Amino acid sequence: MRASTEPVSPVAAAAPATAASPATALPADAAPDSITLTLTVPGLDSLLAPIDGVLAELGRGVLPPGSVDTVLAGGAQAADAVGSSLRSALDGIPWSGPAATAAGEVVARAAEAATALARESEALSVLAGRACEVVARGTAEVEAIAASFVATAAPLLPTAVTPAGAAALTALAQSAVMEAGAVAARVRAELDALGAEVSALIPPVVPAVPGASSVVTDAERFLRGTLDPSPAAPDAGPADSAPGHRAYDPAAGGTGREVVLPDGSTALAPNARAAEAVRFALAQQGTPYVWGGTTPGQGLDCSGLTQSAYGQAGVDIPRLAAEQSVGSPVSVENLMPGDLAVWDGHVAMVVGNGQLVEAGDPVSVSPVRTTNAGMTFHGFYRPTE
């Protein structure tokens, strides 16, 4: 019996013909004395198909013209231009008087908001660029894996008709596919991490910019104060509000701790933890505003500042501004250093003597208020009680 293959196998068996005895003679319709085996050897294209699938999933890491990175960069430039124009207008007009001062504060806050939005747009643009870099790097690695496989597998194709050759090619292909899959998994993990950074930047936090309703309120307050100089009654606050200064007076055995403010004056915090949080927050003055920032001295957003300050004092509070309405509610007349002013998209820390510290651009001290860009004000809260 003779065996042959297409392509021809290097393995062939041939036996010399021998005369058959009558007892073993084959019938006339017996099978022929040779068998032809046809083996199909897979080409490189079919072996590369799984790797091509990984490349298709990854893409090229190149955004088309006019995509999100271009839009964000343009938005950042526009916001910067608005902020610069507002500052120029503020510096170029010789305003004077209480009403003019109030109007100037509105313009200054609007300029701060424009600058903050510009920085936030820049941050998103940077994240988009980093995502493209991650994808492009992964694609280049997978392409290198495919090229290495082709260079190693091509010389082995003639041996694919043998069991050993086929096994070697299969092992090479499996190894290459596993390497490509590992790269794709890493790229997905890096993109997930970048997605988490994007989530931390949304919704935007606009620092200390009064909305239309707050402008009306400020104007009304100014007119009422001018026409009727008698002071308005303070907000009574919630019925179960935290106590005021007398309850914490150290001279009467209270837990109060004194803090020194930037102007040299002092104020009484309700306890050591609140005092430490205030000191930490005040030490961050000048730190740039960074959307989603949680790094003291380098970049902070509003809730990043307050969370870091209380974390330094050993008090754990939530990350998001709207969720930092923790502890005891506080009325206006009972405000003390360390109390938090909470809106649905902003938070600031009371430092005493009618002032609060917040992450504007940069972190700075401003007067206590209950308005912020038309946001809903949740109230004042004391996290340590």
How do residues 264-299 score in pLDDT, each as one tens digit?
Answer: 899 999 999 999 999 999 999 999 998 888 999 999
C-alpha closest to that of 275 among 304, 329, 247, 315: 315
**Res 115 pLDDT > 60:** yes
The DSSP string of 71-132 is: HHHHHHHHHHHHHHHHHHHHHHS---SHHHHHHHHHHHHHHHHHHHHHHHHHHHHHHHHHHH
* Lowest model confidence (mean pLDDT) among 72-76, 151-155, 271-275, 312-316: 72-76
In contact, 202 and 72? CB cutoff 8 Å = no
Average confidence (pLDDT) over 33-42 = 54
d(CA 36, CA 43): 22
Region 302-331: mean pLDDT is 94
Q: What are phi and psi of 38, to 5 degrees?
A: -110, 120
Alpha-carbon distance of 325 to 356, in angstroms, equals 16
Provide the pLDDT for residue 254.
85
d(CA 268, CA 305): 21
Q: Indicate whether 23 pLDDT > 60.
A: no
**What span, in angstroms and rounded, lies between the C-alpha atoms of 94 and 144?**
66
How far apart CA 112 and CA 87 sit, in angstroms, is: 9
Read off the pLDDT of residues 337-357 as tens digits, 9 standing for 90 and up. 999 999 988 999 999 999 999
Is residue 215 within 8 A of residue 119, CB to CB? The reply is: no
How many H-runs (helices) and E-runs (strands) does the chain carry? 7, 12
Average pLDDT over residues 220-244: 46
* pTM value > 0.85: no
Residues 6+ apart with CB under 8 A from 213: 371, 374
Q: Which residue has the higher pLDDT, 131 or 125?
A: 131
Nearest one of 212, 211, 210, 207 to 119, comparing CA atoms: 207
Alpha-carbon span 359 to 365, nearest angstrom:
9
Could you give the C-alpha distances from 45 to 59, 149, 153, in angstroms and in order? Answer: 19, 11, 11
Q: What confidence tens digit (pLDDT) does each residue in 52-105 have?
A: 888 887 776 665 555 545 555 555 566 556 556 655 655 555 555 555 555 566
Half-sphere exposure of residue 300, counting CA atoms within 13 Å on the CB side?
A: 31
Answer with the residue of higher pLDDT: 118 or 89: 118
- pLDDT band, very low/low/confident/very high, at 17 (cuts 50, 70, 90): very low
Query: Residue 164 and residue 170: Cα distance in Å, rounded?
Result: 10
Structure tokens, 148: 């290495």
Checking if the pLDDT of 380 tops 60, the result is: yes
Burial class (CB in 10 A: 0-12, 13-18, 19+), 111: buried
Question: pLDDT confidence of 122, banded at 50, 70, 90?
Answer: confident
The confidence score (pLDDT) of residue 184 equals 87
- Measuring CA to CA, which residue among 351, 345, 376, 346 is closest to residue 366? 351
Q: Say if residue 311 is exposed, middle or buried (CB neighbours under 10 Å; 0-12, 13-18, 19+).
A: middle
Q: Is the pLDDT of residue 333 over 80?
A: yes
- CB within 8 A of 328, min separation 6: which ones? 240, 241, 242, 381, 382, 385
Can you list the alpha helix ranges (DSSP code H) found in the chain? 44-58, 68-92, 98-153, 163-200, 212-227, 272-283, 302-312
DSSP conformational letter for 289: B
Most confident of the following: 197-201, 290-294, 312-316: 312-316
Q: Which two tokens stand for residue 240?
A: 């179960």
